[in-house]
A = this chain, B = another copy of it.
Amino acid sequence: MTQDDKTRIQVEIYNQTYTIVGEESAAHVRLVCGLVDQKMRDLKDNNQHLDTSRLAVLTAVNVMNDYLKLQEDYAKLQRTVEEKEDK
């Protein structure tokens, strides 16, 4: 994979501009960043005292929590599939 295969996309998250370098489409990057921006704003609504840095860390914590839950659900579904196959 060379640098040429990578896209560079400018996005705005919580009033800051970021350049995201990666192999994902611009639409996908915008979707991901839009979701993070929204989560930060939702968290701010309920925690007015939080500065941007703490807000971003707590957003990452929330998303990581969702990720681990989904990972558990995925593992459960996979076990269901395996049990069906064994029958």
Contacts and interface: CB of A to CB of B under 8 A. Distances in A.
Contact of A64 (B54, B63, B71): B63
Question: How many chain copies does the complex carry?
Answer: 2
Most-contacted residue by chain B among A36, A64, A77, A78 (CB, 10 A)? A64
A67 B67 contact: yes
Contacts of A61: 13, 18, 20, 32-33, 36
Interface residues of A, number: 39
B24 A65 contact: yes
| A interface: dominant SS | helix
Contact of A36 (B35, B60, B71): B60
Interface of A: 13-14, 16, 18, 20, 24, 28, 31-33, 35-36, 39-40, 51-54, 56-61, 63-68, 70-71, 73-74, 77-78, 80-81, 84
